Amino acid sequence: MLHYRGAHLLRPGLVGIVVMVCVILIGLQSQKFMAWGTTVRYQALFGEAAGLAVGDDVIVSGVRVGTVQKVVLHNGDALVVFSVNSTIRLGADSSAHIKTSSLLGKRDLTVVSAGTGRMRSLDTIPASRTSSPYSLTDAVGDLSTKTSAIDIDSLNRSLDMLSSTLNQIAPQVGPAFDGLTQLSKTINSRNESLRQLLTGAGTVTSVLAQRSEQVNTLILNANALVDVLAQRRQEIVDLLANTSAVAKQLSGLVADNEAALGPTLDRLNSIAAMLEKNRDNIGKAIPGYAKVALTQGEAVSGGRFYNAYVANLIDGQDIQPFIDRAFGVNPPAQFPLPHPEPPR
C-alpha cells in the first residue's frame, strides 16, 4: 500500500523539472549543441565587413566547412567570428578573404590554410592577411558622387576643344593610319622570320638555362677577379701615394743639404776622374805584364830550379871577381875590373 511522503518529493520534482527543461532546450537547439561539439571557432580582422553577415558560408579549398557566427566592430576593424569543422586543420599563417558567391551579392568567407603550425581555438587572423571585395553598391554610389561633382560647363569646353583639335589634325591622321597599315603589312609579311627569330631566341634561352650553373660559376669567378683587381688597384694607389711622399721627403732633404752635398759631389767627381785615369794606365800595363809572365813561365818550366836574369841589378865589373873565385877561374879577375875607356 502506497503512503504519501510529502516534502520528500520536492527534491526529485525539481530535478525532474530541470532535466525536462534541458531536454526541451537540447531538442530545440540540437544543431547548435552539436556544432559546439564538432566545430572549432576562429576569428579574423577585416578592414571592412563588405556585406558579410551571420550565417554566411565558410569555404576552404572550395568546400563548405563552416559558417559565420558573429560580425562585430573592434577598434575600427570588422571582427568576424566563424566556425570550422574540427576535422579541418588550419595552418598558423592562414589567410581569410571575403568574396562574392552569387550575382545577387551574397558573400562567403574563404579561408586559405598556410604555415607549418596549427591555429588554436579563437586564434585571430590579423588584418595583414585578410582582404575585402569592393561592393558594387559602393562602386555605384562612388560613381554617382564623382559624377555629380563634375563641372558640366568645363566638360563641354573640353569636348569642344578636343573636337576642334581633331578637326585641325584630320589631314595628318590619314597618313598616320596609312603608315600603321604599312607597318602591319610589313610585320605580317615577316611573320615567318619573326617566328624563326622567336624560335632561335627560345633555343638560346634553353641553352642558357642548361648552362645556368656554368654561367653562375663564371659570374662568381668574375666577381672574385674583380675583387682581386680592386685590391691590387688600391695597393697600387697606396704605393703611388707612398712614392710621392718619399719623393717629397727626398726633395726636402736635397734642398736642406744642397750646400753640404755640392763639395762632396765635386770630390766624388775628381775621384772618379782619377780612377778612370788609373784604369787607362792599368790597361796599358797589362800587355807588358803578359810578356813578363811569359818569361817567368819559361824560367820555371825547366825543373826544380829557377833561372832568372835581372839586368843591371849589380854592375858586372863589380861582381865578376866573385864569380871567378866561386868557379875557380885562374887567374882571377882584378877587383874591381877596369872600366873601359869610352871611345874618342
pLDDT-wise least confident of 31-45, 145-159, 195-209: 31-45
Q: At residue 342, does pLDDT exceed 60?
A: no
Smallest Cα–Cα separation from 135: which of 158, 171, 107? 107
Taking 3-state DSSP, the helix, strand and coil percentages for the chain, each rounded to the nearest 5, stand at 60, 15, 25
Tens digits of residue pLDDT in 257-271:
777 767 777 787 887
Mean pLDDT (the chain) is 77
pLDDT-wise least confident of 103-107, 211-215, 254-258, 326-330: 326-330
- If you average pLDDT over each of 90-104, 127-141, 183-197, which comes out highest? 90-104
| The pLDDT of residue 226 | 76
Amino acid at 298: E
Q: At residue 149, does pLDDT exceed 80?
A: no
Q: At residue 36, does pLDDT exceed 70?
A: no
Q: Which pLDDT band holds residue 251 (cuts at 50, 70, 90)? A: confident
Please state, in angstroms and as integers, the Cα–Cα distance from residue 55 to each residue in 69, 80, 216, 269, 279, following that order: 6, 11, 56, 114, 121
| The pLDDT of residue 29 | 61
